[in-house]
DNA sequence: AGCACA
């Protein structure tokens, strides 16, 4: 299959090389500095990929690209930019196409200096700073009332209609690069890693104040995940505080996260406060980091190994029949280091419905392991 | 650490 060839060890040489793991906001000059000694660079494309940390460099001749790829394939010193190792392979295309990319909706109208996004009661809002009023006016005129193209939106996001007006601000004060805010004029501004993870940790709003919008949906980051965390495990853990409606597990930036939906905010808040920082398993394994999701109603497959919709009828039979993790919990399971963990997992001494009528996190007998 | 476009 052609789509998998990009991961094969042997790739078809191309005069275009693909560079990944680039540092934040890596600029063309840095790419050129790295590549120019191998040949004539005829084109570049930066800020490629979901994280905008990939790029393409096109050489005038395929032999120049071969010399570069070959050099770093056998070099003891990896290619580096700003001290960060850069991985280089042939691109799976043979030329760079620099078409106008409305990838950034607002960049189509001029250089976007800074963006700050935040939640208000009226909805999601963003401040977008251009060079001058004329550019801002052009963007406003063109975009007000329109919607963001669907292909630019994440899955499960419906239409996003833009309502635009002039801000009272003239110069935004961006504290760090994150999924909420950007300063494109300052590539060395620190990256807020937790914010880049989309973990929705208390972030700075445009006014500089902490914002943490409550939600009936919790976002769980699972730290130190030595053992598999299944939908069923999460369902058991979070059902201690109320009826769980939906669960979705997904990978983001190499770590496992989950969304857990309750019917209301107060139940979610109880669960969040009770479970935050606690571990599903003894020994500090699978520690839960809980924040409020910006979702309020998950759009998940009713039944899969990564998601569940408990609001739909007749799933219990399916669950009993088809979920390996459920059956496995009562018997030997691949991947479990020993029987003791299983015993603890099934033994309700952890995050199963708390015996404690106060609803406090279940910690009986194992206080040292919580933290 | 993994491929642009619509």
Closest residue to B5 (CA, C1′): A99
Question: Which nucleotides of strand B lie within 7 A of protein CB?
Answer: 1-6
What pLDDT does A232 receive?
A: 95
Q: What is the pLDDT along chain A (371 residues), one digit of tens a residue?
A: 544 566 766 789 999 999 999 998 788 889 999 999 999 999 888 888 888 899 999 999 999 999 999 999 999 999 999 999 999 999 999 998 765 443 367 887 888 899 998 887 777 889 999 999 999 998 888 788 776 765 565 555 666 778 889 999 999 999 888 878 888 888 788 877 555 444 444 444 455 455 578 899 999 999 999 898 999 999 999 999 999 999 999 988 778 999 999 999 999 999 999 999 999 999 999 999 999 998 889 988 899 999 999 998 765 555 544 444 333 333 333 333 332 323 233 323 344 433 333 333 443 333 333 33
Q: Which nucleotide is nearest to A9 (CA to C1')?
A: B2
Gap from A307 CA to B1 C1', in Å? Answer: 27
Residue A55 C-alpha from the chain's centroid: 20
Question: CA A95 – C1' B6 distance (Å)?
Answer: 19
What nucleotide is nearest A14 when CA is compared to C1'? B3
CA of A263 to C1' of B3 (A): 41
The answer to whether A253 CB sits below 7 Å from nucleic acid chain B is no
Contact residues for A232 (Cβ-Cβ < 8 A; gap 6+): A319, A323, A325, A326, A329
CA A320 to C1' B2 (Å) is 38
Q: pTM for the whole thing?
A: 0.36
Cα separation, A19 vs A2, in Å, equals 20
Q: Which of residues 149-208 of A touch strand B (CB under 7 A)?
A: 151
**Could you tell me which residues come within 8 angstroms of residue A179 by beta carbon, excluding any fewer than 6 positions away?**
A195, A196, A198
Q: Which of residues 61-100 of A touch strand B (CB under 7 A)?
A: 87, 89-93, 95-97, 99
Q: How far is the CA of A350 from the C1' of B5 (A)?
A: 50
Closest residue to B2 by CA to C1' distance?
A7
Sequence-distant contacts of A41-45: CB under 8 A, at least 24 apart: A43/A95, A43/A96, A43/A98, A44/A96, A45/A96, A45/A98
A43 touches strand B (CB under 7 A): no
**Alpha-carbon distance A138 to A130, whole Å?**
10
How many Å apart are A19 CA and B1 C1'? 10
Distance A271 CA to B5 C1' (A): 44
Residue A307 backbone class (left: φ over 0; alpha: ψ -120 to 50; beta: rest): beta
Report the candidate in A367, A371, A361 with the shortest Cα–Cα distance to residue A237: A361
Contact A176, A191 (CB under 8 A): yes
Question: Measured from the CB, is A6 under 7 Å from any atom of strand B?
Answer: yes
A130 Cβ nearer than 7 Å to chain B strand? no
Instruction: List the A65 CA – B3 C1' distance (angstroms).
Output: 16
């Amino acid at each position: 299959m052609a789509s998998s060839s990009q991961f094969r060890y042997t790739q078809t040489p191309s005069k275009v090389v693909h560079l990944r793991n680039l540092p934040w906001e890596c600029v063309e000059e840095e790419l050129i500095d790295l590549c120019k000694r191998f040949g004539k660079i005829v084109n570049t494309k930066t800020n490629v990929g979901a994280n905008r940390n990939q790029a393409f460099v096109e050489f005038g001749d395929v032999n120049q690209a071969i010399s570069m790829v070959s050099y770093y394939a056998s070099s003891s010193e990896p290619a580096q930019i700003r001290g960060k190792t850069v991985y280089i392979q042939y691109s799976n295309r043979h030329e760079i196409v620099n078409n106008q990319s409305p990838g950034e909706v607002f960049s189509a109208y001029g250089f976007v200096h800074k963006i700050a996004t935040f939640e208000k009661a009226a909805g999601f809002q963003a401040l977008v700073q251009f060079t001058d009023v004329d550019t801002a006016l052009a963007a406003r005129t063109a975009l007000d009332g329109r919607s963001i193209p669907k292909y630019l939106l994440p899955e499960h996001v419906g239409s996003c209609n833009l309502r635009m007006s002039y801000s009272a601000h003239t110069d935004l004060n961006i504290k760090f690069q994150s999924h909420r805010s950007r300063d494109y004029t300052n590539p060395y501004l620190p990256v807020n890693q937790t914010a880049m993870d989309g973990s929705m940790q208390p972030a700075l709003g445009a006014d500089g104040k902490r914002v943490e919008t409550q939600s009936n949906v919790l976002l769980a980051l699972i730290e130190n995940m030595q053992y598999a965390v299944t939908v069923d495990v999460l369902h058991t853990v979070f059902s201690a505080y109320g009826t769980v409606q939906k669960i979705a597990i997904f990978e983001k930036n190499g770590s496992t996260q989950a969304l857990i939906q309750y019917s209301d905010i107060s139940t979610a808040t109880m669960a969040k406060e009770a479970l935050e920082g606690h571990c599903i398993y003894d020994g500090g394994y699978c520690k839960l980091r809980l924040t409020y999701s910006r979702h309020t109603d998950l759009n998940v497959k009713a039944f899969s190994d990564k998601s569940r919709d408990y609001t739909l009828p007749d799933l219990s039979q399916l669950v009993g029949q088809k979920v390996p993790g459920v059956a496995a919990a009562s018997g030997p399971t691949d991947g479990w280091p020993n029987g003791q963990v299983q015993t603890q997992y099934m033994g309700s001494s952890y995050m199963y419905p708390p015996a404690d009528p106060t609803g406090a996190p279940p910690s009986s007998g194992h206080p040292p392991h919580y933290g």
